[in-house]
A and B are shown apart, each in its own frame.
Chain A
Amino acid sequence: MSIFVDDDTRVVVQGITGGEGKFHAGQMIEYGTNVVAGAVPGKGGQEVDGVPVYDTVDEAVEEENADASVIFVPPAFAGDAIFESLDTDLDLAVAITEGIPTQDMAKVNKRLSETDTRLIGPNCPGIITPGEAKLGILPGNIFSDGNVGLVSRSGTLTYQVVDNLTERGLGQSTAIGIGGDPIIGTSFIDALEAFEADPDTDAVVMCGEIGGEDEEQAARFIGEHMDTPVAGFIAGRTAPPGKRMGHAGAIVSGSGTGTAQSKIDALNDAGVPVGDTPEEVADHVEDFL
């Protein structure tokens, strides 16, 4: 079992003819993902790695029964591409693109509240259910299937923690990068709720970072609603206030909200052990299982 994606997921890749889109569509197919179509305006009728390309997402749904999209569209056009996914009523849209203007995302977020589509990202590595499907850019070879769920705001930090887990034989049910932007679709709480409901997820790792209050809210959710044990990690303990640490959302405000300490405290209060190093996170998971 898994959450959000499995081997039945039928994927349309928006931006499949671009450099990144083409490369990662190939990687997804190689991993075994059911990539059924591409969507690129003006490129309808072409094929990429044997995958038919349509001009619109709508056609990809009509012709190939796509139910999920992965978006590799440059930032200037990515907001529009997400709208196209939402307006086509896909079950899931995964936006990989980094650097979408925040005000574009505010408009997307508004529409999101009016549809049933789940958005993951943007500015994320995507989602993987090991052995079944990956939608995004995660390196498939470091994952192994198992019963640990993982949700993270960062890509490479996810890889680091997964590597530590896999090395100890702790496989993953599903791993989701929810993205490092200030405004994102799927939140920590959405992912945690789904892991809690998944009978085959027996422990969860949550990797947060400075900025915003999502981790604090997630901590409250864990304390009140979760029986599945959760181990945490928070990046950015040494970040100075007012500086954007790579991710657009990773910023400690001048008033001191969004600090690593506030997030660590909130998690500890909810009974979640927080590792000082990625290795310690794996220690905690091992203790749970």
Chain B
Amino acid sequence: MKFTDVYLQTATKILVFIIMTFSIYVLFAGHNNPGGGFIGGLITASALVLLYIAFDLQTVQEVFPVDYKKLAATGVLVSVLTGVGSLVLGVPFLSQTFKYVELPFLGNTELTTAMIFDLGVYMCVVGTTMTIITSISEDDI
């Protein structure tokens, strides 16, 4: 099925970037404010779904060649390995720590290990959601 809806495609090209940016914002906001890896991941997935609706499966796969199953697995690995880090240090599993660091452009920023965990969740959610959606939509009847 070839979609040629010009409005949708043109709007998508702009909207995807806005949605993606927002999802990254939500991901980073998640430590002390509403947001986090799960919601950020879902928002990213919705951007990708929009791409799939506007263009077809093959085109998006060419532009964005990611194996979603592997992305999800990487996400879980990242999350669990953050916990394993605390095993190495001899503190209880999943212990977290944070530090305020002076970064260029950003100023005084709070860096936490929970952020890495959230990043894993983010990747896992994007991977899982997209695996579900692409595997349902691959059959066309």
A and B: interacting chains: no
Taking Cβ atoms with an 8 Å cutoff, the residues of B that contact A are none
